[in-house]
């Protein structure tokens, strides 16, 4: 299968298929499931620079927890958390900044501050105006398939979570809908990236199945981002807290790359860079 078209962010090019790209997670939410939430901007700046030095290709900055049962924060609070950091990083680091939010005003302020990628965990199902924003500014958008409360967003599907029998087909259908919303708004094909959304309305066994069958998403002809870092499916296998899930994350990353992942979204950049390099050498030759 032909690799997706090259995505460009300013002077940075992502040539899909040549290697795996790494997205480092900067979490400014104290409610983070993984225990990595940062409240101090100087600490966040240090972490961001360290991740770039360690080999991150993108920094993903978010200000609201997305763990099951999370308490939403206001638009104003989310802006207060993310914008000052983006302002201080923009133009000072060598990699693009992604804003991890599904709220229009948060994303708009983040882009004004210097972010250049939109990461929407709802895949435009709750805020389709984000597609227009991406199109107007000529920026990439990451569309995630989110099965939480999916009956409210995907007509005809009444379950709260995907089913075992057709989880991959449900992902493909969901992502096709998101891609079409983006295309109708004028987002060019090369600026659309997809994410199956491990853990978002899927059981831990779904997550394993998605990684196992990740190549099925290649039919959509878009770069694939996978975020297995410290996720609960690792705990279900190893029975360890988030801070002890590095080895499980590494295994999931390697197998995701073998099955077609183009970007991996992780907390532990230094270690996962090595995993990606060896995996790429074996898989991509």
Catalytic residue numbers, as ranges:
231, 265
Task: Spell out the residues 6+ positions from residue 245 whose beta carbon is closer than 8 angstroms to its own.
Answer: 229, 230, 231, 234, 235, 238
Angle at 261 between CA 255 and CA 262, to 5 degrees: 140
- Give Cα separations from 282 to 39, 139, 217, 260, 261 (angstroms): 39, 32, 21, 13, 14
Paired sense of beta strands 7-9 and 12-14, if any? antiparallel
**Rounded Cα–Cα distance for residues 131 and 119 (Å):** 11
Quick one: tokens of 171? 């992902």
CA–CA dist 74, 171 (Å, integer): 29
Token representation of residue 29: 């939410």
On the 0-12 / 13-18 / 19+ scale of CB atoms within 10 A, 241 is exposed
DSSP string, 95-112: S-EEEE---HHHHHHHHH
> In Å, how far are 101, 180, 254 from 150, measured between CA atoms?
18, 18, 29
Q: Which of helix, strand or coil describes residue 261?
A: coil
């Amino acid at each position: 299968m032909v690799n997706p078209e090259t995505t460009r962010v300013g002077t940075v090019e992502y040539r899909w298929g040549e290697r795996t790209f790494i997205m480092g997670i900067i979490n400014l939410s104290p409610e983070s499931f993984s225990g990595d939430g940062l409240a101090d901007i100087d600490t966040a700046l240090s972490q961001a620079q360290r991740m770039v030095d360690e080999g991150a290709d993108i920094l993903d900055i978010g200000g609201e927890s997305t763990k099951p049962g999370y308490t939403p924060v206001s638009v104003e609070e989310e802006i207060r958390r993310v914008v000052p950091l983006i302002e201080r990083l923009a133009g000072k680091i060598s990699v693009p900044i992604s804003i991890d939010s599904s709220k229009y005003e948060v994303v708009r302020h983040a882009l004004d501050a210097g972010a250049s990628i939109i990461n929407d965990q709802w895949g435009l199902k709750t805020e389709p105006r984000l597609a227009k924003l991406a199109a107007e500014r000529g920026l990439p958008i990451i569309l995630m398939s989110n099965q939480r409360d999916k009956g409210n967003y995907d007509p005809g599907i009444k379950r709260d979570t995907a089913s075992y029998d057709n989880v991959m087909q449900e992902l493909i259908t969901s992502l096709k809908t998101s891609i079409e919303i983006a295309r109708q708004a004028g987002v060019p094909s090369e600026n659309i990236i997809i994410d199956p959304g491990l853990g978002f309305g899927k059981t831990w066994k779904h997550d394993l199945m998605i990684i196992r069958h990740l190549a099925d998403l290649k039919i959509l002809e878009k770069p694939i981002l996978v975020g297995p870092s410290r996720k609960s499916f690792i705990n279900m296998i190893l029975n360890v807290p988030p801070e002890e899930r590095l080895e499980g994350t590494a295994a999931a990353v390697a197998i995701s790359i073998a099955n077609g992942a183009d970007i991996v979204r992780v907390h532990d950049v230094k270690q996962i860079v090595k995993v990606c390099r060896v995996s790429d050498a074996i898989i991509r030759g």
